[in-house]
Structure 1
Amino acid sequence: MLKKVTIQADQRVLLFDKGSYVKVLGPGTYRYFWWSEATVVVMNIGKPFVVEGRDLQLFLHDQELVQELDVVRVEDHEYVLHYEDGQFAQLLKPGVYAFWNVLRKHAFVHMDVRKPEVPAEVDRSILSKLGAVVQTYDIASYETGFLYYDHLLQRELSPGKYYFWKGPVSVMVRTLDVRQQQMELLGQEIMTEDKVTLRLNFFAQYRIAGPVRVLEMRAFEEQLYVQLQLTVREYVGTLKLDELLRRKEEVASFILSRLREKGEEFGVQFVGAGVKDVILPGEMKEILNTVLLAEKKAQANLITRREETASTRSLLNTAKLMDENQTLFRLKELEFLEKICEKIGSISVTGGGDLLERLGSLIGDRGSQRERES
């Protein structure tokens, strides 16, 4: 009695005799005796070539089978990108793989993970599917980056997005902000040359100009802060309190020039500096307020005396002119008479005669009396 096996067009059959592989059977119908110890394994050629419990090497001696397979070996230091009919299918890790080439065309791209950076020719659209084996670093437009392999600096990175394989090489990217930044000294207690202890708030603006030098320094910001602190103390300690209060702008300019001399050493460029606040002790404030009040009073008295002197001098000049010119004297009298009349509601005159004549005679009598006295 015969057994029958029918193989479809999208199938292949692996024939075994007493457990040993014999050959591959293509599409068609096959018959064998029922007492035969032959067995078959039906394979779907649309799927990878995998036989449960059997090593792939057991089948690769069959040249007829090998012609229908694409076999790829992935080394320990590799990843392989597997494409089917031009589309990405999967990532292959170290091992040996076989795929039927009857229905689909296969392509394999080998990636050496000892070179961690993902090559530019790899389509970035597929990297999102490889999150388990790819690490990503973003460098913003205001940053500069530095690439390290196994803690050794490789190169500087410009802004952008970078992809690296997760493999035997350790990858690290450090970034530095190259925008203008500001460092502040707040509440610094400093003694001036005249032994006045005050608190000073000072700021300095800078941007990183030498990123490599910055990376070579440990605790870069702390060292920069100490340098700013020492520079401020060094200069302010040479000034008296009055000089410091009067020349704050000059203080800032001088300290900025000194900082710029140190800029290259720290890998930065200082672009600005200034004194924000000078905070005095309570008793010193009272003393300064007293001094200021006294100065203002003295200035006010000086102005008052100056105005009084000017007024007296003006009166003296007017008197001299009136003595020398009788017409001017009469005009001045009429001016005073006009001012008197402006403040009087009514004038009562007794006796005969015209009002203007009476007033004129009154002024005339006073004028004659002054001539006799002179």
Structure 2
Amino acid sequence: MKYVIKTQECGYLFKNGILKKILFAGKYRILSMSGWELKITEMTGKVDTKGLPAEILMEQPEFASRVVRVQIPDDCIGFHLVNGVYRQVIMEGEALYWNVFEKNEIRLVNVTGTEMTEEQVPAMYRHLIPVRLYKRFSVGEGETGLLYIDGKFEKQLSSGTYFYWIYAHEVSMKLYSLKVQQLEISGQEILTSDKVGVRLNILCSYRITRPLELMQKTDNVANLLYTRIQLLAREYIGGFRLDELLAQKEEIGRFLMKQIQGTQEEYCVEILHTGIKDIILPGEIRDIMNTVLVAEKKAQANVIMRREEVASTRSLLNTAKLMEENKVLYRLKELEYLERICDRVGSISLSGAGNILEQLAALALPKD
């Protein structure tokens, strides 16, 4: 039987099921009746052994010189590179590839370590690795990460992206924000000394300064600050009357800030600001205060009106005194009013004799 083996192919020649030779490109006549058999395969990519153990094929020098064979240990993974380009990850067993028309390479990477370095695996090819073998941690700007390996603190991470092998270790990270954070204590119901129930909203701005020390003390510093401020507010503000509370809102905020700053070293934070945001009064108290406010504004308006009336009367008195002392000024004022009266009159009849101004005055002004 005739066979043609192409340039990119080779053939496994068997005699009664036993591999005898590796044939390459060319034309061949095989006598199958005599127990000969030829199995043809392509010499690219992964080797198709046609069911033969790799050890038998490797005994053929022509085959061994044309392939790359690597055993993948249990604690390693193999990166398969084709012409220098990462193609895939081989997890276990044996890697057997043709090395004829393209350069195949297997790079072993030990996964029993901790940090995945750039020398081990370039960042652009890490997506090829199964996610069960590593953990990816991201630390943003203004954040820090506390790295723990097998339950023990390893180091503090700055902003960046990190990869760690988890094949032989338990790896975890606790992320902390170093930015200014705001805590709101809302709806705190407090009874003043004059038995008025009010609700307060208190704000506290803080920043974590020592995350490692904080990690050893608490998992939630916000809860600690919340409780501390809540108790301080209840203890201190409860001693004020309602009017004192409203008048001294800023002073109370400064007191709370000073008190909570005394514990910032204990909580591993820096307290930047603490103050009362809102004082919410009961409905009846609001109505009473609104009534008082309206009354105060009306009283202020009345005072202003009376002040304006007094000023107007004083101005008229001063004008009258001036006109009494100055006849010309009095006459000009008289003419001004005559002009206004005449503007409202349709027609006026005057005689030709006598002074016109005197006649107008006689018509407009009352006679004694």
Instruction: Give the TM-score taking structure 1 as reference length.
Output: 0.69
Structure 1: runs of 5 or more not aligned: 304-330, 347-374
Aligned to 2:157: 157
Deviates more, 1:88-97 or 1:148-157: 148-157
Aligned to 1:60: 58
Aligned to 2:223: 222
Deviates more, 1:153-162 or 1:245-254: 153-162
Partners of 1:151 and 1:170 within 8 A in 2:
yes
In the alignment, the residues of structure 2 paired with residue 39 and residue 295 of structure 1 have an alpha-carbon distance, to the nearest angstrom, of 115
Aligned to 1:101: 99
How far the C-alpha of 1:229 sits from its partner, in A, is 0.9
In the alignment, the residues of structure 1 paired with residue 302 and residue 86 of structure 2 have an alpha-carbon distance, to the nearest angstrom, of 95
Aligned to 2:357: none
SS of the equivalent of 2:203 reads strand
Partners of 1:50 and 1:56 within 8 A in 2:
no
Aligned to 2:253: 252
> How do residues 108-257 of structure 1 correspond to structure 2 at under 5 angstroms?
108-115=106-113, 117-121=115-119, 122-130=121-129, 136-149=136-149, 152-164=152-164, 167=167, 169-216=169-216, 217-257=218-258
| Code of the aligned partner of 2:118 | A
In the alignment, the residues of structure 2 paired with residue 198 and residue 47 of structure 1 have an alpha-carbon distance, to the nearest angstrom, of 79
Aligned to 1:81: 79
Q: Which one of the candidate residues 9, 17, 20 is aligned to 2:18?
A: 20
> What do residues 286-339 of structure 1 show as CA deviations (whole Å, max 9, x unaligned)?
676788899999999999xxxxxxxxxxxxxxxxxxxxxxxxxxx999559999
Change (3 A) 1:67 1:241: same
SS of the equivalent of 1:65 reads helix
Deviates more, 1:80-89 or 1:275-284: 275-284
In the alignment, the residues of structure 2 paired with residue 68 and residue 280 of structure 1 have an alpha-carbon distance, to the nearest angstrom, of 89
Partners of 1:192 and 1:237 within 8 A in 2:
yes
Change (3 A) 1:195 1:20: same
Structure 2: runs of 5 or more not aligned: 305-320, 339-368
How far the C-alpha of 1:171 sits from its partner, in A, is 4.4
| Code of the aligned partner of 1:141 | E
In the alignment, the residues of structure 1 paired with residue 199 and residue 327 of structure 2 have an alpha-carbon distance, to the nearest angstrom, of 67
How far the C-alpha of 1:157 sits from its partner, in A, is 2.6
Change (3 A) 1:35 1:207: same
Aligned to 2:350: none
How far the C-alpha of 1:72 sits from its partner, in A, is 0.9
Q: Which has the larger radius of gyration?
A: 1
Partners of 2:323 and 2:329 within 8 A in 1:
no
How far the C-alpha of 1:97 sits from its partner, in A, is 1.3
SS of the equivalent of 1:35 reads helix
How far the C-alpha of 1:148 sits from its partner, in A, is 4.1
> What do residues 199-250 of structure 1 show as CA deviations (whole Å, max 9, x unaligned)?
2221111122222344442344323211221122232234343432222212
CA RMSD after TM alignment: 4.1
In the alignment, the residues of structure 1 paired with residue 328 and residue 241 of structure 2 have an alpha-carbon distance, to the nearest angstrom, of 62
Deviates more, 1:4-13 or 1:259-268: 4-13
SS of the equivalent of 1:76 reads coil
In the alignment, the residues of structure 2 paired with residue 209 and residue 63 of structure 1 have an alpha-carbon distance, to the nearest angstrom, of 67
How far the C-alpha of 1:271 sits from its partner, in A, is 0.9
Instruction: Give the TM-score taking structure 2 as reference length.
Output: 0.70
The number of aligned residues is: 322
Partners of 2:14 and 2:20 within 8 A in 1:
yes
| Code of the aligned partner of 2:191 | M
